């Protein structure tokens, strides 16, 4: 009986140790060490400042791609909230800033972005705002933040198909935030966003291996 109790205790310790190792996270990408993505990160030196208005629910979502943007982009800021009060300091900063800002959100009057915008460069955009969340969450942020209406709105072509197959969406051809930002930067400044897509592919592969394992 004594030997049996000790054996069970040792087994329990081993299980707890294994679980604690699995919970360890990379200090840089904050993913579990088993699925660390850092070796796939290549810096993207974007001239256009990217501002993410992120719904609080997305901060803890394992499949959220804004974390990937923060790892790769050299000019990106993320603000978490839902209401105008949450984003008040940012709104004040952008209102007094001389930079030209656009919001990437598909309102009716939004200008469609294509690669031709970079070639012709008619907009001279310095700052790109995106809303990160489900379609319902993003719409809620848009409606609760009328200060966004002082800026020009832009959207992406409807025929672009998203490749975010590891996360369900209620909208056909829905894009991840990473894909939307990558396409936006290509259109606005001709940025080489291939490193973003490679990181995105690696992330999806890591996730698939993790779920299969």
What are the backbone dihedrals phi and psi of residue 165, each rounded to the nearest 5 degrees, phi first? -80, -5
Give, as one character, the DSSP assignment of residue 69. Answer: H
DSSP assignment of 90-127 equals: HHHHHHH--S-EEEE---TTPEEP-THHHHH--S---E
37 within some domain: no
> What residue ranges in 140-204 does DSSP mark as E strands?
152-155
- If one counts the domains in the chain, the total is 1
Is the pLDDT at 15 greater than 50, yes or no?
no
Degrees (nearest 5) of the Cα angle 12, 27, 15? 5
- pLDDT confidence of residue 73: 98
- pLDDT tens-digit readout, 103-116: 999 999 998 987 65
**pTM of the model as a whole:** 0.83
Instruction: Look at residue 39 and tell me if it is in a domain.
Output: no
pLDDT in tens, 61-76: 888 899 999 999 999 9
Quick check: is 52 in a domain? yes
In a domain, 34, yes or no: no
Is residue 7 in a domain? Answer: no
**100 located within any domain:** yes
Distance (Å) of CA 26 to CA 21, 71, 140: 11, 12, 33
Residue 10 lies in a domain: no
Residue 4 forms part of a structural domain: no
At 189, give phi and psi (nearest 5°).
-140, 5
| Domain extent for 111 | 46-158+175-196
Among the listed ranges 16-20, 191-195, 200-204, which one has the minimum average pLDDT value? 16-20
């Amino acid at each position: 009986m004594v030997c049996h109790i000790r054996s069970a205790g040792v087994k329990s310790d081993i299980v707890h140790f294994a679980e604690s190792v699995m919970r360890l996270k990379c200090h840089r990408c904050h993913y579990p060490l088993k699925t660390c993505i850092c070796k796939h990160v290549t810096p993207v030196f974007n001239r256009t400042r990217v501002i993410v208005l992120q719904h609080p629910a997305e901060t803890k979502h394992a499949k959220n791609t804004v974390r990937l943007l923060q790892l790769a982009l050299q000019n990106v800021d993320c603000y978490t909230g839902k209401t105008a009060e949450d984003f008040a300091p940012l709104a004040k900063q952008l209102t007094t800033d001389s930079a030209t800002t656009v919001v990437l959100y598909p309102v009716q009057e939004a200008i469609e972005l294509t690669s031709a915008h970079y070639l012709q460069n008619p907009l001279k955009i310095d700052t790109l705002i995106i809303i990160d969340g489900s379609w319902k969450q993003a719409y809620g942020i848009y409606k609760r933040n009328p200060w966004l209406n002082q800026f020009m709105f832009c959207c992406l072509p409807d025929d672009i198909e998203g490749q975010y197959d590891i996360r369900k969406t209620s909208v056909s051809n829905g894009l991840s935030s990473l894909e939307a930002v990558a396409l936006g930067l290509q259109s606005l400044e001709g940025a080489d966003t291939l490193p973003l897509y490679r990181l995105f592919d690696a992330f999806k592969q890591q996730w698939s291996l993790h779920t299969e394992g």
